[in-house]
Amino acid sequence: MTRFDSYLRSILERGAEEARKDGSATIEAHHLLLAIAAEPEPSTQEILTSAGLDYGSIHAALDREFEHSLSVAGVSRAAAGLPRPRGVPAHPRPGPSFKLAMERGVAALARKRDLRPAHLLLGILGAQVGTVPRALTLAGIDPADLRARVQQSLATDGEPRR
């Protein structure tokens, strides 16, 4: 198993855990983003930190995005009187945004064996619309700027021999 494979595996496990905590039957891109933020992997940690992001702030941004989107329809989570979802589905499956993120992360690359952790982040940030870019924007982060940071990190961080 390559280093990337074992990284991917821990991200998927953690992503599934995030989905369960969220009460979601599917693992979505934002669960992967939380997983990446929770994983002590130097290159991705450096990128997130440079943008002022960590697990806690991403979590808060996602919560805010949820509240904000509900408010567009005149609804508030507090008014619905909900307890925080308790660990729900046993085996969340990859959802549509997860699949898109993986495609975008891998599509950036000619050869699969060149995959590095930051490519996963790049794939997630490839979304122009949806939960992740909305949450980042609400947190005052420009998704395009963050994407550029990832690209720069991938370019300078020893692109494997071509």
Partner 1 sequence: MAGAEIPTAQELASQGLADRLAAVRALRRLADQLEVAAVEEAMRAGWSWPEVAEALGVTRQAVYKKHARRLIAAGVKLRRRSP
Residue numbers of the site for partner 1 (CB under 8 A)? 23-25, 65-66, 69-70, 72-73, 75, 77, 80, 82-83, 85-86, 88-90, 129-131, 134
Q: How far is the CB of 152 from partner 1 (least distance, A)?
A: 15
The torsion angle over the Cα atoms of residues 110, 114, 117 and 120, rounded to 10 degrees, is 10
| Residue 18 or 41 having the CB closest to partner 1 | 18
| Residue 2 or 50 having the CB closest to partner 1 | 50
Q: How far is the CB of 18 from partner 1 (least distance, A)?
A: 14
Q: How far is the CB of 116 from partner 1 (least distance, A)?
A: 27
Q: Which residue has the tokens 């308790």?
A: 86
Contact 68, 75 (CB under 8 A): no
First-to-final CA distance of the chain: 22
Q: Which residue has the tokens 């983003």?
A: 33
- Mention every residue, 6+ apart, whose C-beta is less than 8 A from residue 13: none
| Residue 45 or 64 having the CB closest to partner 1 | 64
| Residue 107 or 144 having the CB closest to partner 1 | 144
Distance CA 19, CA 5 (A): 21
